[in-house]
């Protein structure tokens, strides 16, 4: 089967998926305490609606965002609010968080299923909002907002992102393989909310078992309505799962610079988010647990774990037998993730994976000057000139790099990956953007 792909740049990093791709999703027992940051979504931090010493049930609303962009937060355990205070955060260094001590005797909360076909699209959208769902692929943009495009947008296609092109990560692979029927149903719920009929799930061809499982589930679910969910294999090439590349690969539509997917009639949702939509609308279950890949050769027992949001990484590492020769902890994949300095941070709604890397998996070489080989330009999927941005930033002229299209850089890391001089081209691009904004 030939795979669809994007036309420009891209790389083939070592996959490292063999560490966890064959491991079935395992449930991690709830920890004794959860730490739920008030910021784990794009937008304003949520405001607590609970107080210290208050009893809460699993799934209860504990923080809301009233008049701004944001998402509701729910308790992931039954227990008592111990404190609300600043705690380490995976991306913000520190952030206010609600800390809940779990009641070890409380049974897990039960949820009743509902037939989403009998629910209006307005009520389905409200269920997504009330469940606190955000894009689980990383950015954390509130899903109910993404599913409410402006009336002028002519949406005709829903794309589900099953590329999972980052090395090591296997969360979406396992969800597609183990719960294909939920992914298909979740897609149909989103189609109903959007008022359209066609969805396509793009999956890289290194996940043939997931493609087969989805095709089977889609076939079994066809005929129950007039919606069409297709599955399309895509070439294995990083960054196949980035929004613009994915849309081009599957529809040959090019999102204009500075534009959004709905400018070309498309809405993109991630696989884990689609599962969360299924759980919110079919099972009435808010988003407070998620599947996360814990991988890397420094971890004694790598796994795809279903964990409570708010579980602190040190508890996960204890559950997975500890680490050996640990040199670096990365939240997310090695290409677009970020290094963390402590195990004291919780799993948030947007944690897709956590990597525990040893000395052989990390590169600590110092970078040298640009040798003008041009490899970074060849690798850039956006057709940019990362070397110029780097040279300008080093010369203290980062504020003049807008001419190189630096705002089209989505920090995929392809350029830095191929650079023989090991230049930190993504950091240069980030700095350039900050300096341009500073200069107005």
Which of 51, 53, 49, 103 minimizes the C-alpha distance to 76?
A: 103
Nearer to ligand SF4, 189 or 421 (CB): 421
Site for ligand SF4 in 192-251 (CB under 6 A): none
Considering only 96, 178, 394, 411, the residue that binds ligand SF4 (CB under 6 A) is 411
Q: Residue 429, interface with ligand SF4 (CB under 6 A)?
A: yes
Q: Residue 336, interface with ligand SF4 (CB under 6 A)?
A: no
How far apart are alpha carbons 323 and 318 in whole angstroms?
A: 9
How far apart are alpha carbons 423 and 200 in whole angstroms?
A: 38
Binding pattern to ligand SF4, positions 249-288, x when CB under 6 A? ----------------------------------------
Site for ligand SF4 in 372-391 (CB under 6 A): 372-376, 379-380, 382, 384, 386-387, 390
Phi, psi of 181 (to 5 degrees): -65, -35
Binding pattern to ligand SF4, positions 337-376, x when CB under 6 A? ---------------------------------xxxxxxx
Q: What is the 3-state secondary structure (H, E, C) of 64-78?
A: ECCCCCCCCEECCCC
Nearer to ligand SF4, 183 or 412 (CB): 412
Nearer to ligand SF4, 134 or 165 (CB): 165
Nearer to ligand SF4, 310 or 390 (CB): 390
Q: Residue 319, interface with ligand SF4 (CB under 6 A)?
A: no
Q: What b/e string do you get for 280-302 counting C-beta neighbours within 10 Å, with b at 16 or more?
A: bbbbebbbbbbbbbbbbbbbeeb
Cα dihedral angle (153, 162, 410, 137), rounded to 10 degrees?
90
DSSP element (H, E) containing 232: strand 228-234
Considering only 426, 431, 432, 433, the residue that binds ligand SF4 (CB under 6 A) is 426
Considering only 282, 412, 431, 432, the residue that binds ligand SF4 (CB under 6 A) is 412
Q: Residue 421, interface with ligand SF4 (CB under 6 A)?
A: yes
Which of 283, 274, 292 minimizes the C-alpha distance to 200?
A: 274
How far apart are alpha carbons 202 and 364 in whole angstroms?
A: 35
Query: Structure tokens of 121?
Result: 């699209």
Q: What are the residues binding ligand SF4 (CB under 6 A)?
A: 370-376, 379-380, 382, 384, 386-387, 390, 409-415, 418-421, 423, 425-426, 429
């Amino acid at each position: 089967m030939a795979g669809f792909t994007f036309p420009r740049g891209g790389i083939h990093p070592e996959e490292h998926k063999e560490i966890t791709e064959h491991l079935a999703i395992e449930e991690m027992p709830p920890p004794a305490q959860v730490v739920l940051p008030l910021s784990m979504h794009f937008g304003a931090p949520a405001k607590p609606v609970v107080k210290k010493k208050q009893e809460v049930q699993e799934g209860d609303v504990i923080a809301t965002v009233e008049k701004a962009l944001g998402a509701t937060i729910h308790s992931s355990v039954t227990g008592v609010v111990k404190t609300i205070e600043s705690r380490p955060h995976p991306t913000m260094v520190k952030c206010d968080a609600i800390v809940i001590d779990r009641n070890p005797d409380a049974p897990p909360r039960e949820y009743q299923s509902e037939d989403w076909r009998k629910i209006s699209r307005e009520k389905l959208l409200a269920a997504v909002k009330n469940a606190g769902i955000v894009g689980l692929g990383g950015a954390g943009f509130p899903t109910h907002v993404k599913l409410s495009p402006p009336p002028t947008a002519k949406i005709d296609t829903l794309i589900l992102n099953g590329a999972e092109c980052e090395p090591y990560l296997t969360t979406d692979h396992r969800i597609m393989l183990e719960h294909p029927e939920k992914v298909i149903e979740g897609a149909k719920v989103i189609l109903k909310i959007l008022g359209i009929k066609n969805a396509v799930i793009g999956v890289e061809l290194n996940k043939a078992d997931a493609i087969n499982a989805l095709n089977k589930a889609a076939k079994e679910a066809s005929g129950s309505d007039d919606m069409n969910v297709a599955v399309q294999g895509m070439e294995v090439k990083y960054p196949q799962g980035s929004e613009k590349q994915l849309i081009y690969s599957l529809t040959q539509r090019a999102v204009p610079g500075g534009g959004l997917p709905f400018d070309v009639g498309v809405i993109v949702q991630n696989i884990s988010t689609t599962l969360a939509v299924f759980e919110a609308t079919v099972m009435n279950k808010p988003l407070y647990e998620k599947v996360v890949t814990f991988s890397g050769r420094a971890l004694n027992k790598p796994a795809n774990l279903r964990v409570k949001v708010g579980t602190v990484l040190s508890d996960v590492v204890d559950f997975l037998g500890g680490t050996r020769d640990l040199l670096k902890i990365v939240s997310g994949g090695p290409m677009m993730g970020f290094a963390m300095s402590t195990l004291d941070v919780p799993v948030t709604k947007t944690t897709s994976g956590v990597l525990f890397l040893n000395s052989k998996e990390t590169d600590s070489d110092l970078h040298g000057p640009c040798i003008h080989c041009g490899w970074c330009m060849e690798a850039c999927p956006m057709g940019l000139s990362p070397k110029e941005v780097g040279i300008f930033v080093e010369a203290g002229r980062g504020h003049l790099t807008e001419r190189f299209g630096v705002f089209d850089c989505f920090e995929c890391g392809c350029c830095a990956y191929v650079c023989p001089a090991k230049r930190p081209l993504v950091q240069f691009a980030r700095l350039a953007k900050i300096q341009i904004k500073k200069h107005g």
